[in-house]
Structure 1
Amino acid sequence: MAGEVHYFRLHRRDWADRLDKLVAAGCTAVASYMPWLVHETASGTVDLTGATSEYRDLVGFLELAAERDLLVIARPGPFIMAELKNEGIPFRIYREHPAAIPLGWDGERGPTQTLDYLEPGYLAQAERWFAEIMPVLADRLVTRGGPVAAVQLDNEVGMLSWVTNTPELTDRTLHDLASWAIEHWGADDARQRYGADPREPEAWVAQWRAGGTRGGSEAQQLALHHDLGAHHRDRYARYLLRLREMAVQHGIHGVPFLVNLHGTSEGRGRTFPIGISQLSKAYAGMPQTTSGSDHYLGELTVENVPDLYVMNAFMAAVHDADQPLTSLEFESGTGNYVEDLSREASPEATDLKTRLCVAQGNRLISYYLFAGGHNPPLDEPVGDGNDRIAFTGERHGFAAPVDPEGRLSPTYPALRSVVRAVHGAEHLLADMDEEHDDIVLGYVQDHYLTEYTHPEAARRRELVHEVERYRGMGPRDILARALLLGGHSFGAVDLSAAPTSADSALDPAGPAVALATPPVLGRAVQERLAAFVQGGGRLLLHGVLPVLDDDGTPCTVLADTLGVAVTETVDGTVHHFPSVRATDWAGPQPEVRVGVLQRLRATGETDAQPLALDVADGSPVAFEVRTEGGGLAIVMACDYPCHLDFWRALVARLGVHRRLVAHGEAPGLVVTSTADATGQRLLHLVNVAQVPQKFTLDVNGMPLADGAALELPVRSGRMLPVGIRLDGGVLRWATAELDGAGDGSTLLLRRDNGPGSALLETGREVLVDDGSGAEVTEEENGCRLVTWPGGEDGARLRIRLRNGS
């Protein structure tokens, strides 16, 4: 549990205060950017010891952190962002290396201060920066007794190009792309694919900068845009791997390298998988490297709780078993980022998001920004209005739990409380993984290859709109929301990954696959899913029937395998209200309005039974398909509303049942669990609703706490222990959170305002704290039931097992 503190935005005299507040909040690590822009002086030398300015004393800050036993997450760039000018790159780089400033569509420069990551001049300068800072970090690695526990490589690579729709189209990049195209397709096929010959540089450059809109066909336009994104993936991977090589050359060994993923927008995570798509080639399968989320979601609500859950699931889908989830920029403040009070997140938001990420297996959470500060002046004035290192003015980090002047904001107590909750169970969490129901959500990387569209590429723009409408979480986010709020916990599978002999993710005997389907689904993915169902697998498609390959050419491999075809697509308008009704399988169901439906027909190749009908003409809009190989597929070609009972029943038709079943809850309760190899378990309950929850919970068919009602206040969470081993017994369950590991025979619980109970299976005498009001009674099954009344919120209850009866 870490927090970001920017030493370069604080006077040296304030460092100890901010680090002490971090320690007081329960954090065990400090993260910080280490900006090239700040540490390079006007003369071009690099100061990392504070010889020229207190803001540059990185060494002193690292030593102060070590004195407080804080680990350090080092974030040395070269790019920093953090509202710094030039994203943390020195001004001189742009003056001395104009060839590194990329050109975009039609040869125009983009609106941001990004650079061509692979331009030789910039790369040489980046290596000079690493040659200065990496030895300082290497000397202080945890493997050498220092505090530095991890090193981030650059920051949010590719984000600036994506958000401005400005691909990198310099002559040098397009020459590289010509070689890439010849390698992938051959020269003649590349000419046919893009409408330009990669061996003719002038025509090649002109066609790509025009986005295929100057005389190319629609198919060439689509292929060009798709492959532009694919080539950028390769470039970003080459850049990050080169930075990794530089860091290793300068002494960084034995600690993780981290890659920060960007992508949330306007309080939602729908676009976050773009960052995974852009950067996963740089870390997937790469030893000692993992990715981290960077998210700004504001409040966690029924609207966006599936976003965060799916973000984590999709990240994990491209990780190996030894690549844990992390969060390198975990939003923890009030949300008042531009100091205009246009938004204000509740303190509970940090608590809820932390609990959900921990439940999904995050092993590092770094709260950003933990402490605000101020922006010192640049060494040399540039005449830009404030001549400071950043564009936020004198003060920075207005929304942080610790404000620029060191005062605690209302989010600080909530952060401290949830960190305590995590530490209370960390001895278990460290060896636990999330448990899932028998279903995974499909992640298709190329559904997020949508960063770039030439302004005049009408067909590309149309196709991107369709992909964005249906991908990931499903139309109107219904698929993911219905699964999560309907009580299912689920992982994800990267359907774009090439199958290997060891790949069991699409084993027909394995989990059912749920996939949100745009009209575009690459041929390789369609073939993989077709083989999966033909082999006996279970598949749920939600959206529209896929009929196009990635480059827009017709492809109906999956539809043909399922024996289903589209006769007509009907969109809702202000004057037309398409509506559907479920058939008898679902029991009495109302007619419901949908935003889109497809009228389907069975081709006779499979056994296809209608599950829902268009009320206008009786056409099927959903089929249950059984294949000769024993496979089962549900094709849901409409955005059926998020009626939780309907979706639970639909998923149950695939043979998927909930491990955890809450009875009596209101929408907004998320329930999942983590477990270790021995069966010790934590139940994670997160209530994002605006109403309190009172419910009973079944765990694998058995009632928890003998069926006693559990209560969660509005917007709160809890981690309940189940089956936890003690010296001399087992904690069968408790309705309170753990508050530490104890000493083996001691159980530490954290009380809240209401009454609580715990059941222990033990032959020993059970002792409780004097004055706690707790009582111990012997149950008929030889267990001891400990109960206690409501009391001081947060007080610790100690339960001991004494030797002897």
Structure 2
Amino acid sequence: MNTFKIKDNLFWLNDQPIFIQSGEFHYYRTPPEEWRHRLNLLKEAGFNTLASYIPWLWHQLEEDVSDFDGHSHPMRNLEGFLDLADEMGFLIIPRPGPYIMAETTNEGIPPWVFENYPGAAFIDQNNKVQNIASYLHPDFLKCVRKWYQAIFQVLTPRQITYSGKIIMTQLDNEMGMIHWVRNIIDTNPDTIQRFADYIRQSPEINHPERYPKENLEDYLKESILHPDQETDPIILEDYRRFFQGYLEEYAAFLIQEAKLNGMEVPPIINIHGFANGGKTFPIGLSQLIDVMRLPDIISATDVYPCIIGEGNIHELYMVNEMTKALQNPDQALFSIEFQSGGNMDFSNMQSSFYDLHARLCITSGMRAINHYLFFGGENHPVLSRIKRHDWGPPVRKDGSLRQHYHRYGKLSDALAVYGQDLVKAQPQYVTTIGFQLDYFMTEVNNITTQQETKIITHQRERILFDMLARGLTLSHRPFTSVDLDREALDPAQTPVLWTMMEKQCYPETQQKLLDYVKDGGTLIMAGRMCLEDFEHKPCTLLKDDLGITHLEDQPPFQIQDITIFDHQDVPVSFLETYQGDFAEVFAYDDKNAVVGFRVDIGEGNLFMLGAAMPISTLEELDIIETLSNRATVPPLLTMTHWVDARLSIAENGRFLSINNYKDDPVDTVLSYQGQPLFGGNQVHLPARQGAILPLEWQYSEDILIHYATSEIRHIYNEKDALIFETAQPDVTAELTVKGYTCQDANVISEADGRTRVVLDSSTGKIVLKRVPR
């Protein structure tokens, strides 16, 4: 029997690590006679997995009446579709909702749910009934229960545990996303009752100064419907925390019902929030943090960058690292909606984006990608009033191909060549960015919270993303991330930690940071000094231990110039100045007031910069270089001309992933830990292309590839020769072989029956001739 599991940050099929290369196909938008053609296009692109939403509103037009075999419409033949995918050798990831979004009516919920059970509808803070449900309303849960009883009759026997091909199942879709996008707060009586119960069961917030003992439900509803600037910021903040647990309860219900109906494969939840280049993505992480920590949950991201270049790659790395810090520790990074659309026939999208984005995420440790949406199609009126469903995917609705389709097969070829060695390779890091997830708990707002949300949004975007993440990314200092509020800090494991600080911080986190420094860690903070906890109670542990006797904030959003290290007139915002006994001052304003300082505490030290300084010039990047060098954080790689380069290491070799985002080709010489790579030879990358290059790769017992300056795309095992075909015609490679001669190569040395050779080829081939025995 086949098996599928997660462990050691990998996905395993039959006890072998696997890279899941998946494409999303909506069978209900394409006639059945064309299904095989579309799935063949996936196979030709090198994909091994198929994913699809299963729309509840499409398969149950009436309550308790289902069609999964196509008797009412051929495109409802879900059973036939899944069996065809199985026959063609695909692994399968079904996504049966209940919510699917996917540009469908009611986000995929059948209209009869609201017609038959109007009390289950979401009622917003304007007393307006929305076309979505209150997740935990008993009537909605009753309908979902019956939907799962029906759909899992189709899915359960097709799981890998039943000799089928279903390896994971996504439950619901982007829980809480609609609430964030529409900025809606639920005042359905059922939800208000649950909110009141949450407050009553939370002694830290349930006190007379905050909430009345009598008529709490009425008080909460009235406060949400008619917010008051003096009292209601706390109410909305408490609502956000309540809703984290609310979503957890909903997800737990779905998992329980799926298992009761036979689900044995791991459940997936997908994380929304990707906007503004990814800077809003942690809002989804904040909403779903309690869901992500449910047992055996696999978390998967939804990412839609639309562009990729030196100006936004730091955002993509930060999204990946924050997700890894919070997800199930056994799983690999996984994106269930990895943008493959948006490339309309006449648009500004570049076909290179899709390949470069995938390469960036693979070098971050992503080992499962579902390219969404891979095919265009048409909507039946039941699904949507809009017939055309074509958002620029690789395959048009008529089955013709857009240009970016042809990029997928090339990357799949390289993944197949490097195989399990690349899958098991672990990204290398030199430092860590810490974050506080509560800084992103801003998904819903009203007049009482808008200003604070505006401020914290500015700080997390300008500091956490555009200063820390961007500075470290552009200076080739790959970083991992850590949740400061939930994880321990050990200077032995994390010798240098960067973080953004704002006015609020938990007492436990403040103390944790202080202990980290006292135990020998180096902490680099930017932002404003914390003065209270998230309950708005004064808390100045950090301020007091740093010896700050006075601080002064400048007006928010006002640009001012500072001097920092050797750089003058550096523009910053949210300036804060300090007085105290500091070991060193490295930044000051135009009045010589202290903006940046260093203090030594115990065995470690702390650098504080009281400003938001996004990296936009080489001058600002040099400031990050200086801070890094002062903190003893050298770059992982150096090079003569800039490319995005990352190193991953496995038992059988190393892999250097390099991306050129420029519109011009680049030639560069790279070094690792001061030693030249690739024999000191230049690596050439055409414009807007990437490469995965092997280093000390033990391809087999008789073949060690010390390096190759071009990506290996194919390996042909012929009768008398083994041929490695590379992406570029010009390639320099160095190998040690036994039982082979290398055509046109120069011999460097011979020992113990092994020959070390170097080859300069202009044919894009490394030809190893077998020596007759």
TM over 0.5: yes
Aligned CA distance change for structure 1 residues 41 and 660 (closer, same or farther; 3 Å): same
1:207 is paired with a residue of what secondary structure? Answer: helix
Distance in 2 between the 1:654 and 1:192 partners?
A: 48
User: What residue number does 2:170 align with?
Assistant: 152
Query: Which stretch shifts more, 467-476 or 12-21?
Result: 467-476
Matched, 1:619 2:593: yes
Deviation at 1:47? Answer: 0.5
Matched, 1:452 2:438: no
1:41 is paired with a residue of what secondary structure? Answer: coil
2:534 is paired with a residue of what secondary structure? Answer: coil
Question: Match for 2:384 among 386, 390, 394?
Answer: 390
Q: Deviations over 1:361-396 (max 9, x none)?
A: 112101111011101132xxxxxxxxxx124x2221
User: What residue number does 1:384 align with?
Assistant: none
1:73 is paired with a residue of what secondary structure? Answer: strand
1:416 is paired with a residue of what secondary structure? Answer: helix
Distance in 2 between the 1:106 and 1:554 partners?
A: 34
Question: Match for 1:477 among 466, 491, 515?
Answer: 466
Equivalent positions of 1:328-367 (< 5 A) are 328-336=336-344, 343-367=347-371
User: What residue number does 1:115 align with?
Assistant: 133
User: What residue number does 1:422 align with?
Assistant: 415
Aligned CA distance change for structure 1 residues 427 and 717 (closer, same or farther; 3 Å): same
User: What residue number does 1:761 align with?
Assistant: 736
Distance in 2 between the 1:783 and 1:474 partners?
A: 53
Q: Deviations over 1:264-311 (max 9, x none)?
A: 125x10000111111131132622x21111111111122221111111
User: What residue number does 2:683 align with?
Assistant: 710
Matched, 1:77 2:97: yes
Distance in 2 between the 1:779 and 1:564 partners?
A: 64
Distance in 2 between the 1:640 and 1:62 partners?
A: 52
User: What residue number does 1:286 align with?
Assistant: 295
User: What residue number does 1:238 align with?
Assistant: 249
User: What residue number does 1:496 align with?
Assistant: 485
User: What residue number does 1:303 align with?
Assistant: 311
Q: Which amino acid aligns with 1:394?
A: K
- Residue pair 1:609, 1:625 contacting (<8 A) in 2 also: yes
Matched, 1:88 2:108: yes
Give aligned pairs, total: 745
Distance in 2 between the 1:462 and 1:94 partners?
A: 36
Aligned CA distance change for structure 1 residues 243 and 609 (closer, same or farther; 3 Å): same
- Residue pair 2:587, 2:596 contacting (<8 A) in 1 also: yes
Give the CA RMSD over aligned residues.
2.5
1:722 is paired with a residue of what secondary structure? Answer: strand
Aligned CA distance change for structure 1 residues 748 and 306 (closer, same or farther; 3 Å): farther
Aligned CA distance change for structure 1 residues 741 and 120 (closer, same or farther; 3 Å): farther
User: What residue number does 1:520 align with?
Assistant: 504
Distance in 2 between the 1:763 and 1:748 partners?
A: 15
User: What residue number does 1:464 align with?
Assistant: 453
Distance in 2 between the 1:197 and 1:798 partners?
A: 82
Deviation at 1:750? Answer: 3.9
Aligned CA distance change for structure 1 residues 494 and 476 (closer, same or farther; 3 Å): closer
User: What residue number does 2:562 align with?
Assistant: 580
Question: Match for 2:524 among 534, 540, 547?
Answer: 540
User: What residue number does 1:562 align with?
Assistant: 546
Aligned CA distance change for structure 1 residues 778 and 685 (closer, same or farther; 3 Å): same
Question: Match for 1:256 among 266, 271, 275?
Answer: 266
Distance in 2 between the 1:803 and 1:183 partners?
A: 79
- Residue pair 1:509, 1:536 contacting (<8 A) in 2 also: no
Deviation at 1:256? Answer: 2.2
Q: Deviations over 1:38-77 (max 9, x none)?
A: 1113475111111111110011111111121011111110
Question: Match for 2:145 among 105, 119, 127?
Answer: 127
Q: Which amino acid aligns with 1:601?
A: Q
- Residue pair 2:318, 2:465 contacting (<8 A) in 1 also: no
Matched, 1:99 2:119: yes
Aligned CA distance change for structure 1 residues 800 and 536 (closer, same or farther; 3 Å): farther
Equivalent positions of 1:655-674 (< 5 A) are 655-662=632-639, 664-666=640-642, 669-674=643-648
User: What residue number does 2:160 align with?
Assistant: 142
Matched, 1:736 2:710: yes
Task: Using structure 1 for the length normalisation, give the TM-score.
Answer: 0.88
User: What residue number does 1:442 align with?
Assistant: 434
Aligned CA distance change for structure 1 residues 224 and 798 (closer, same or farther; 3 Å): farther
Task: Using structure 2 for the length normalisation, give the TM-score.
Answer: 0.91
Distance in 2 between the 1:731 and 1:422 partners?
A: 17
Equivalent positions of 1:603-752 (< 5 A) are 604=581, 607-614=582-589, 616-627=590-601, 629-640=602-613, 642=615, 643-662=620-639, 664-666=640-642, 669-676=643-650, 678=651, 680-725=653-698, 726-739=700-713, 749-752=724-727
- Residue pair 1:73, 1:149 contacting (<8 A) in 2 also: yes
- Residue pair 2:196, 2:216 contacting (<8 A) in 1 also: no
- Residue pair 1:269, 1:297 contacting (<8 A) in 2 also: yes
Instruction: Give the percent of matched residue pairs that are identical in Structure 1 and Structure 2.
Output: 27
Matched, 1:55 2:75: yes
1:355 is paired with a residue of what secondary structure? Answer: helix
- Residue pair 1:424, 1:737 contacting (<8 A) in 2 also: no
- Residue pair 1:467, 1:520 contacting (<8 A) in 2 also: no
Deviation at 1:741? Answer: 7.7
Aligned CA distance change for structure 1 residues 40 and 577 (closer, same or farther; 3 Å): closer
Aligned CA distance change for structure 1 residues 639 and 60 (closer, same or farther; 3 Å): same
Distance in 2 between the 1:675 and 1:475 partners?
A: 28
- The unaligned stretches of length 5 or more in structure 1 are 379-388, 769-773
